[in-house]
């Protein structure tokens, strides 16, 4: 009875404690799977706290110094030795020394990662850093080397993965650094165009099944690059994509046909609907009911109602709540900006936006 009563409302204080816990310690279930991605855990936690207007509980300088300690610095004559590897690591698991200014690659396999560079910049902007210690020129140079001939990006130099996720990371990094010279935009646009499917959605790669996550990364990339109208060429294409997204709603959002509803798609799909300019199309009461089922009385959200909370679903549950349900900003004081997945407060402060 107590749990049922608690879950009738959004549990802001519990979510604050949930995010703070993940900043202070890497929980045991993540020790193996997330040790290399500590930056992502920090991103989820800090932007989560920002949405809840609780950044005052964080030692900002200490966090900023830790983020810069993950930066891969250029070395050698004309800073060319680490060419293609500059950016940010996910952690120091590879053996690099801790230094608040960053460090060069310590061996052949030590490198930045495109997603970690994206989350690092998001964290720095969220905490109000001016990015003066970011080696912007070298990161832009790394983007040039990570883009493949087909227009997509790999996550690391000579890496095996390439799909719309890393196109988005490259686009978002360029936006935050205010320098798009590291991207061949026509090639990236052509790649994303080939990912567009007959059902109106986008797959991770050409010929792959349409999916809520790849829809978000493709659509947001096109908007950032100023190429949306080159791929979604008319109102019919926009409506086909909107229809695919809205068809993902049963009780909550799912990512693709015949799959279970999942908390994270409240943002991936809900954010895509918002980027299309139709954020009020989803039924907020229906989505609220689903999220209250996955919300935990100890804080955080879970993927499904009957499993434990985790940091990813905790973050996207809070983001989706602010995006779709809490329009009056009662619980979510600084809602997510769907383009960069940082708060509207941080986005507007950094880029001087007033709308």
**pLDDT for position 5:** 46
User: In which residue are the tokens 């966090």 written?
Assistant: 63
Local confidence band at 78 (pLDDT 50, 70, 90 cut-offs) = low
Q: Which residues contact 121 (CB under 8 A, 6 or more apart)?
A: 88, 131, 134, 172, 173, 176, 177
pLDDT at 44 over 80: yes
C-alpha closest to that of 274 among 296, 246, 313, 314: 246
Over residues 207-225, the mean pLDDT reads 98
User: In which residue are the tokens 């941080």 written?
Assistant: 346
What secondary structure does DSSP assign to 299-339, as a single string? S-EESSTTS-EEHHHHHHHHHHIIIII-TT-SS-SSPEETT
**pLDDT for position 111:** 86
Rounded CA gap, 215 and 86, in Å?
28
> Regarding beta strands 309-310 and 153-154, do their DSSP bridges make them parallel or antiparallel, or are they unpaired?
unpaired
**pLDDT for position 302:** 97
Local confidence band at 7 (pLDDT 50, 70, 90 cut-offs) = low
Rounded CA gap, 79 and 73, in Å?
9
pLDDT at 6 over 60: no
pLDDT at 355 over 60: no
Helix, strand, or coil (residue 117): helix
Q: Where are the alpha helices (DSSP H) in the chain?
A: 2-6, 12-24, 38-51, 60-69, 114-126, 136-146, 164-177, 185-194, 212-224, 228-231, 235-246, 265-275, 284-294, 311-320, 344-351
């Amino acid at each position: 009875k107590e749990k049922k009563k608690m879950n009738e409302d959004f549990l802001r204080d519990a979510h604050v404690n949930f995010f703070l816990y993940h900043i202070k310690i890497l929980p045991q279930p993540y020790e193996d799977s997330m040790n290399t991605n500590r930056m992502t855990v920090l991103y989820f936690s800090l932007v989560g706290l920002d949405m809840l207007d609780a950044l005052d509980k964080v030692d900002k300088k200490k966090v900023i110094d830790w983020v810069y300690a993950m930066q891969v610095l250029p070395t050698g004559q004309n800073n060319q030795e680490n060419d293609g590897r500059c950016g940010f690591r996910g952690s120091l698991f590879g053996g690099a020394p801790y230094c608040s200014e960053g460090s060069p690659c310590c061996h052949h396999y030590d490198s930045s990662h495109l997603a970690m560079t994206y989350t690092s910049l998001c964290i720095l902007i969220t905490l109000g850093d001016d990015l003066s210690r970011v080696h912007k020129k070298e990161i832009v140079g790394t983007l040039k080397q990570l883009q493949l001939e087909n227009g997509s990006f790999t996550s690391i130099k000579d890496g095996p993965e390439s799909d719309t996720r890393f196109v988005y990371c490259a686009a978002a990094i360029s936006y935050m650094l205010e320098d798009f010279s590291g991207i061949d935009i026509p090639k990236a646009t052509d790649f994303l165009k080939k990912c567009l499917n007959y059902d109106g959605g986008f797959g991770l790669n050409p010929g792959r099944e349409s999916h809520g996550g790849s829809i978000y990364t493709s659509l947001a990339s096109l908007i950032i690059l100023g190429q949306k109208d080159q791929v979604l060429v008319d109102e019919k294409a926009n409506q086909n994509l909107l229809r695919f997204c809205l068809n993902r709603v049963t009780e909550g959002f799912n990512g693709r046909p015949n799959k279970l509803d999942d908390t994270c798609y409240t943002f991936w799909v809900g954010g895509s609907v918002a980027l299309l300019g139709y954020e009020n199309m989803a039924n907020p009461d229906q989505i609220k009911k689903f999220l209250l089922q996955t919300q935990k009385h100890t804080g955080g959200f879970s993927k499904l109602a009957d499993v434990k909370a985790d940091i990813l679903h905790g973050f996207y549950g809070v983001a989706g709540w602010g995006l779709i349900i809490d329009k009056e900003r009662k619980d979510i004081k600084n809602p997510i900006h769907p383009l960069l997945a940082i708060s509207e407060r941080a986005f507007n402060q950094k880029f001087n936006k007033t709308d």
